[in-house]
Amino acid sequence: MLGTADVMAFVATKDAERAKTFYAQTLGLRLIADERYALVFDANGTMLRVQKVRQVHPAPYTALGWKVSDIRGTVRALIDKGVTFLQIGFPGQDALGIWAADDGTMVAWFKDPDGNTLSLSQFPASPLQSNEKDTAPAGVTVRFRPGALGA
């Protein structure tokens, strides 16, 4: 039913101007609109609506995350723009704040100005992450086990 519909992402802010600066200038997202109830950004083809609220109640987990191909380079670039990465305390987390999971996934967490937890993730190379078009030869059916691609 919703498999062909576009997904949107939401976070909240109590200071729209500060959020606008952070998401546009620090993170590099394109501002589409500054509406009465939300700032609307283009997050690489996904609509991100930063809702304007009186009080933010940040979740104790990641609210938004980005899949990146070079987590170390991205972390360093964001540090240069003033972003502080969180030290979560997981074994294997390095001085930059990048945690390496047993499967090779690397994750780094940071907060937006309202305290929403954001993350960067770099996944181990897989056939679905190549730059080539993901198509199977004619007559070949590709099936995935549930959970095979991770959460």
The CATH architecture of the domain made up of 7-55 is Roll (3.10)
Both tokens assigned to 62: 């990641």
Residue 120: pLDDT over 80: yes
7-55 and 58-129: identical CATH topology: yes
CATH (one of 1.10.10.10, 3.40.30.10, 3.10.180.10, 3.40.190.10) for 58-129? 3.10.180.10
For the chain, the domains span: 7-55, 58-129
Q: Is 66 within 8 Å of 121 (Cβ atoms)? A: yes
The 10s digit of each residue's pLDDT in 14-57 is: 999 999 999 999 999 999 999 999 999 999 999 999 999 999 99
Give dist(CA 20, CA 25) in Å, integer.
Answer: 8
Residue 59: pLDDT over 90: yes
91-107 per-residue burial string, b: 16 or more CB within 10 A, e: under 16 = eebeeebbbbeeeeebb
What per-residue confidence (pLDDT) applies to 125?
82
Residue 5: pLDDT over 90: yes
Q: Give pTM, 2 decimals.
A: 0.81
Q: Is 136 within 8 Å of 142 (Cβ atoms)? A: yes
The 10s digit of each residue's pLDDT in 64-118 is: 999 999 999 999 999 999 999 999 989 989 999 999 999 999 999 999 999 999 9
Q: In what order do the strands lie in the sheet with 106-111?
A: 62-67, 117-122, 106-111, 98-100
Q: What are phi and psi of 76, to 5 degrees?
A: -60, -40
